[in-house]
Amino acid sequence: MTHSLHRRGDRESLKDDFVVIGCPATGVNKKGSAPKTREYLRIAYTHGPINEGDMKTGNIYNTTIDDILARVTDGTIVQVTYDSREKVVALLKELKEKRPGISITVSGVTDIVQEMMYEAGLGRIHTVEYSMGTWGKTERLPEYDVLKITTMCGHAMIANDLVGKMLRDIKKGRRTVEEACLEMAKACTCGNFNLTRAAKLLREMLPYYVVNRY
Amino acid sequence: MRVRDDRCIGCKRCFPYCPMGRIQILRRHEKIPGRVYIEIDQDKCTDCGMCYRAKVCPVNALYQPAEPWPREVRAVLSNPLIEYKGSQVPGRGTEEMKTNDVTGRFRPGEVGVGIELGRPGVGAYFRDVEIVAKMLAPLGYEFAEENPVTQFMSDRKMGKLRDDVLNERAVSAIIEGKCKLESLPKVLEAIKKAAEKVDTVFSVEIISKVPPEGEVPIIPILKKLGYWYSINSKNNVGLGEPQFKFYDNQG
């Protein structure tokens, strides 16, 4: 599925938000892929991701990188999230050189991804997938600011109400912005949640959120 | 997901973790005086397990029983930790374009089109999934074999789903498949009409092999027909091995 697609936000909000997925292919290179996937994860981790995980095991905020690495099997799909363009370029350069062999996708602003690929010597994008937005009963969606946060979990495991609760908790002094981001990151098992972007979004939302204390 | 009514104290800590929103009601316990507990609306619950995994229940009242068919499809489609054996991929869909560099699933002249009902965060019944599938089936849209929704179909030529799953619900359920580039306008038109009929939202995605030179072939079609597409996308960077040979002159 497309759990790293459909992230909402404008260019400014999305320009430092990248999910890099490593995926072996069923019927082609899945058999014997576990060491390749581990190699990809190991390389990716050295480039300082903000999140990293495997949807069946969890991410680095609800387990450890050692646990994620240990539980990789043939067919495991892994997600690594970065909050910096430079880190992804460095990662792509190393992947081009060491070629773990599994397929790699980068989700992000399209022209930025293409530029990063050129800088890494990878040439044109091989295959592209665009989001065409949300159709149907869109009046049921929460406000756009909430969507910008919740759509960072493609499986929709970060509830709309959880964003409200985090804002309330921050306003009431029960959590810091960073602790709120950590709580939401735990809910997004795959590791697609960008905590740096979430913190920025929460800080932008806070002045507009009024807590009724009495 | 269920609640043990003899344990639950109605503290509501699990409420904000539910991706489906406020689907719980408070009830007064018949045998324990003064005790209030929550009851989860079993029709609206998708068995995604998020409230349980959040580990916020102070009395361990939440539990997920093994559900029989057809209810078991809820957890299969909604709980990201569960792998659907037919797709051999954890989650709700397939590898789609993630492995196109080695599988050649989407070739020049073909367009992948995915419609994920219930996303983002609204949820969908399979009766709505069927509405969309039925509108795509006559248009030469080829449903992805390994996709869970395809596997739930009783008649793929008609896009008909099994009757026993129609009233089941998931956080989201994705129809995945492809069509010829020249069929794209009528496929998108059908999706637009389906949007007026379904009782939920859906997210639409579109996949294309990027040619070695020139414009991505779907872009002029989307622009001409006035369809919006996002500035962000998912991009296969072509590092998989062995590479699928898309062109005769490919090295």
Question: pLDDT tens digits, residue range A14-66?
Answer: 999 999 999 999 999 999 999 999 999 999 999 999 999 998 899 999 999 99
pLDDT tens-digit readout, B17-62: 999 999 999 999 999 999 999 999 999 999 999 999 999 999 999 9
The count of C-alpha atoms lying within 13 angstroms of the C-alpha of A127, restricted to the half-sphere facing its C-beta, is 32
Global pTM reads: 0.95
Among residues B2, B158, B160, the alpha carbon closest in space to that of B74 is found at: B2
Interface touch B216/A128, C-beta < 8 Å: yes
User: Measuring CA to CA, which residue among B246, B45, B16 is closest to residue A167?
Assistant: B16
Give the pLDDT of residue B82. Answer: 84
Q: With a cut of 80, say whether residue A165 has pLDDT above it.
A: yes
The 3-class secondary structure across B67-126, one letter per residue, is: CCCCCHHHHHHHCCCCEECCCCEECCCCCHHHHHHHHCCCCCCEEEEEEEECCCCCCEEH
Q: Between A and B, how many residue pairs show a Cβ–Cβ distance under 8 A?
A: 287
Evaluate whether the domain defined by A11-119 bears CATH number 3.30.70.
yes
Q: Supply the pLDDT for residue A56.
A: 84
Asked if residue A214 has pLDDT above 70, the reply is no
Q: pLDDT band at A78, cuts 50/70/90? A: very high
Nearest to B181 by CA among B111, B97, B106, B96: B111
CATH class of B1-65: alpha beta
Q: Is the ipTM of this complex over 0.85?
A: yes
Instruction: Output the pLDDT for position B249.
Output: 78
Average pLDDT taken over every residue of chain A: 96
Residue (of B170, B200, B204, B171) closest to B190 by Cα position: B204
Q: What pLDDT sits at residue B69?
A: 92
Nearest partner of B70 among B126, B147, B19, B134, judged by Cα:
B126
For residue A91, give how far its alpha carbon lies from the nearest alpha carbon of chain B (Å): 12
Tokens of A146: 């909430």
Domain ranges for chain B: 1-65, 80-225
What residues of B are in contact with residue A150 (Cβ under 8 Å)?
120-121
Percent pLDDT > 90 in chain B is: 92
B-chain residues within 8 Å CB-CB of A130? 205-207, 218, 229-230, 233
C-alpha distance from A1 to closest chain B C-alpha (Å): 4
Confidence (pLDDT) at B85: 67
Q: What is the mean pLDDT of residues A80-98?
A: 98
Angle A156-A162-A166 from CA coordinates, rounded to 5°: 135
How far does B28 lie from chain A, in Å, by closest CA?
25
Instruction: Please give the Cα distance from B92 to A80 (Å, whole number).
Output: 19
Token pair for B185: 């306008």
CA distance B22 to A159: 10
Task: Give the domain ranges of chain A.
Answer: 11-119, 141-208
- Give CA torsion, residues B203, B208, B210, B214, to 10 deg: -100
Question: Are the Cβ atoms of A1 and B100 closer than 8 angstroms?
Answer: no
What are the residue ranges in chain B where pLDDT is below 50? none
